[in-house]
Structure 1
Amino acid sequence: LFQFSRGRKDLVQQKKLLRDYRDFEQYEEIAKATQDPEMQRSVRIIEAYFDLPKRIEQLRRCAVASELDATVTLTTAHKAKGLEWDFVGLYDDFSADPLAPEIDRASRDDELNLLYVSVTRAMQILAVNSLVIDIMQRYKDLHGSQTISQTAR
């Protein structure tokens, strides 16, 4: 997708991309129109990192075969199910706000469940992301600080 965004169609590995979209601008338009979270995330990453291939290559050089040899584990919330670490930091790349008014009930439940899985992977320290902070703030605004204190006990 990065090569596609730079007009280097000969370097695009997934040829389906070339068949489905005339150019990267059309890909961006469809991502926006459909609100597809994966497409939107990929567009944000490409916009944020002009040197993305170099960064990916750096990550590959630092990768180890066994997680036991790793200092840091970079994973997705889906792949983290059932695993635990002393320290977990959540990144701001969750696909949707589970409490957004336009989200349907099934999607809301899926997103909340994924968020739950993510925050419960930490054994000692959890560094929350802006989505979790926002949800906590909305809960506090709705229920007041006294309820939060009682719930935390």
Structure 2
Amino acid sequence: MPFVAKAWKDLQDPEDGVVRFEHDHYLKMWALTEPKIEADFLLLDEAQDTNPVLERVFAAQRGHAQLVMVGDSAQAIYGWRGARDMMTGFDAVHLTLTRSFRFGPLLAEQANRWLAFTDAPIRLTGSDTIPTKVGLVTSPGAVLCRTNIGAVTEVMRLLEAGRGVALTRGGQTLIALALAARDLKDGRRTSHPELVLFASWGELQEYAEYDPAGRDLQPFVELVDTHGPEAIIAAVDALTDEDKAEVTVSTAHKAKGREWLGVRIADDFPPPPDSDQLDDSGCPIPEPVSETDARLAYVAVTRARHQLDLGGLAWIENQPAPAGGA
């Protein structure tokens, strides 16, 4: 706690302090002033992923304003950052919208497959007036990835194919990964959160190749070994603004709240591992889909309006439905 107090004191001086000043810091400072928002109505969007600081400010306005929340509990995918579903336990009239105005019945079926693996009580119906196909999409408007490393791989692949590529929220994520790889290859440790545990590039290569937990890193390692970190940095310079791009690459987290006519799911959404149990034909029965993975997949597939290519999530076709979840 003494170090926390010292850091907080440093943050009160954003001009001369040494601790990096982030958005969360001024949000907290504002919240501590117990602000009164002069409004008759307040609407909180994406309420299923509200951070506790904002939740407290919002709830404090109940005495003078009507509070309205909008959200989808099945899209709560930021719990790892401390966010929580504020709609749970909210003292208000609950109104449910289950018919989608974004896509048709076929895509609603895909969404419901993933909802079955969550505790969400609702199921979606699509709009009959919107034609939606589920199958191969050769020219998607967006490619959605599970990880930043998966996004790097997709960007490089699409650029090599001569496509005009945009990356949601710019290329700083790619540059940071490339610089971290360069540090490891040069024999220096890196502070990058996804690679900080490795003392050298060789250690990362060994982990990606031989440890099952390292499979997410394997495409990135192969990419760097084939092209080098500088090629990834150069790829950032080749990125296009979204309004001019042929295809946008995004993580599913960053795609939340957005939509495209055609979406392809990238290959970095792995199926659950096999369990120790066997089915009647002697084949291993896969572990059930975790609720965290199901929520993220649900967000990803519902970004499409007219065309969805399941890609890296096509394994759901062979996944046993959960008992009582249909």
**1:100-149 deviation per Cα after TM superposition (whole angstroms, max 9, x unaligned):** 549987x810101111111111111111114x222113349x9xxxxxxx
Contact 1:99–1:108 (Cα < 8 Å) also in 2? no
- Secondary structure, in 3 states, of the residue corresponding to 2:305? strand
Q: Normalized against structure 2, the TM-score is what?
A: 0.33
Match of 1:97 among 271, 283, 289: 271
Match of 1:43 in 2: 218
Question: What are the equivalent positions in structure 2 for 1:63-74 lying under 5 Å apart?
Answer: 63-65=239-241, 67-74=242-249
Contiguous gaps of at least 5 residues in structure 2: 1-179, 277-285
Two-structure CA RMSD over aligned residues (Å):
3.8
The residue aligned with 2:181 is 2
Query: Would you tell me which structure has more strand in proportion to its own residues?
Result: 2
Matched residue of 2:262: which SS?
Answer: strand
1:138 and 2:319 are equivalent in the alignment: yes
Unaligned runs of 5+ in 1: 143-150
Q: Percent identity?
A: 25
**Which structure shows the higher helix fraction?**
1
Gap change, CA 1:78 and 1:15, over 3 Å in 2 = closer
Change (3 A) 1:112 1:19: closer
Check the 8 A contact 2:271/2:315 in 1, yes or no: no
Equivalent residue number for residue 291 of structure 2? 109
Cα distance in structure 2, aligned partners of 1:22 and 1:119: 37
Aligned residues: 132
Q: Larger Cα Rg: Structure 1 or Structure 2? A: 2
Say if 2:252 and 2:299, in contact at 8 Å, map to a contact too. yes
Question: Residue 15 of structure 1: CA displacement?
Answer: 4.6
TM-score of the superposition, structure 1-length normalised? 0.63
User: SS at 1:79's partner residue?
Assistant: helix
Structure ranking higher on relative contact order (CA contacts 8 Å, 6+ apart): 2
Q: Structure 1 residue 62 and structure 2 residue 243: aligned?
A: no
